[in-house]
Structure 1
Amino acid sequence: MYTLAIQPLNPVAFELGPITVYWYGLLIGFGAFLGYLLANREMKRRGLPDDMLADLLLYALPAAIVGARLYYVIFRWDQFADNPISVLYIWEGGIAIHGALIGSFLTAFIFAKKRGVSFWKLADITAPSILLGQAIGRWGNFMNQEVYGGEVSRSFLEGLFLPEFIINQMFIDGAYYHPTFLYESIWNLLGVALLLYLRRVNLRQGEIFLSYLIYYSIGRFVIEGIRTDYLLVFGFLRTAQVLSVILIVGGIFFLIYRRKMGLANKRYLDDEPKPKTNKKKA
């Protein structure tokens, strides 16, 4: 039978002696690198020190990794109880983006306070980069054959005009599944374009970041309803959907509250460098 001949892609990118490098970590790292380039360019345009983003990432990235793993482990402890050391095996998958966001945002808030920089300004600058990193990082889930939805037919996947390698990778344990990793990756890439556009609209400071929270959470709520590898809270509620609702409501609340209280008078482009003009002396 044709389907029996389908082999999953190798999750190992390459090996260097005793060191094994997985596509999962490689793709997450690549997403973080592209996000860094995008944010660093904008930080320089906004007149912030050249090394500020590198200093922030020095603290935020480890906090994001720890937060992502802890979040997942807390809601899936039964998976690690018999072998607690496996908590450290993050290359096998099992991290949660919401945990990463919580860890990195708390770190960024403390960092901004210590550096005397507006947290909202930093958050607005880095929001598109975070979403870009999430979009690329989902392909790490693809290589691990995780973050997929309910069972579908091969003809359904072919009807989405997907390339053969994606369709074949969605053949797991004898059946085909929704490529929810792809749905979220596309949603996030569209979100990057939206946030970059909102920069030119010149929203008030903090509102690009809040727009990110709202936009991402809307997509995550919908896609989470299709996934089969969800985390549960209280034994029956999908954790990511609960948190998505909180972030949507919270994001809208802060948009309104900060405007009403006069906490969002500055706009994103207020400190944009003026273009140089060549004036000829008379």
Structure 2
Amino acid sequence: MNKLVLALLTIGLLAGCGSKKKNAGKDTFTFEDFRQLFTQAKLPYKLTPEALREKLPDSVAIPQELMKQFLVDTLGKSDFPEGTVIRFYPLAAIDGAAVNYFVVKAVGKTTSTAYLCFLDKKGHYLNRLAVAKVDEKKDQHYFSIDSRQVVKITNETELSPGHTAIREDFFGVAEDGKTTLIMTNTSGDATASQIFNPIDTLPAKHKLSGDYLSGETSIVSIRDGEDPKSFLFFISFSKDKTGCKGELSGTGHFTGTNKGEYKDKESSCGIAFQFAAGRVSIREIGGCGAYRGVRCFFEGSYSKKK
């Protein structure tokens, strides 16, 4: 029997026998059943843009109930426009030394994104990283994991016909699922307009939403949150003198008319945002070393792009 069909039948039985499930104290559809939905792969592993573009039948899509049970039901929420119907597909399951990796494909109306989900050895979800993206544009974002379990995300941006800028970000993954940017290689300094902004297409109706720039290689992007008191953000910077780089995204909350704050639930990392006259200033209010180099900080003033 098809594994996805079995999953759907199991969910239906659980929905119809809720009280029996509670008494049993154990889900009928186990984590091993969920794991079997994925192709078992080994390191090194690479997901190409062509593989991400490949259309998969709806019959193999992961039901939302299983996403919520074994991964997280908010996967893709901050990377697709509000109201987008997202279908999730299982691509690969890979055993690692510290964590296990699950590659999940998320498909919207015009965009396909891949997430690398980190689970501990007992099958508990830890974290995820957006690692690949293809859409109607010619730009491509794809990834690989080498035998040392270093994750490499490659961003190819077409600057002009026959001229492409390439940026490679290398990440390490800890036992708790936290990722650390190890180094970045580029075929030339990427400008702010060439940086892969995962929230670029999301709504920006709030008066403070927009893209704030500092030089040609640093950006603070602000987008509308789920309610007037919250906002989504993406920060990417590169220091010319030291070569130090950093990148962070998440959901912040307004603490005043022109003030906002972000606190990482998994670490001490925090960012304070101060908005004023078409500018935003940021500063760390906690240690964010997992998201930047050791010789720099999330700080500085950025001007709003018109």
TM range (shorter): 0.3 to 0.5
Bigger helix fraction: 1
Which structure shows the bigger proportion of residues in strand conformation? Answer: 2
**TM, length-normalised to structure 2:** 0.31
Greater RCO, 1 or 2 (C-alpha within 8 Å, sep 6+)? 1
TM-score (norm: length of structure 1): 0.34
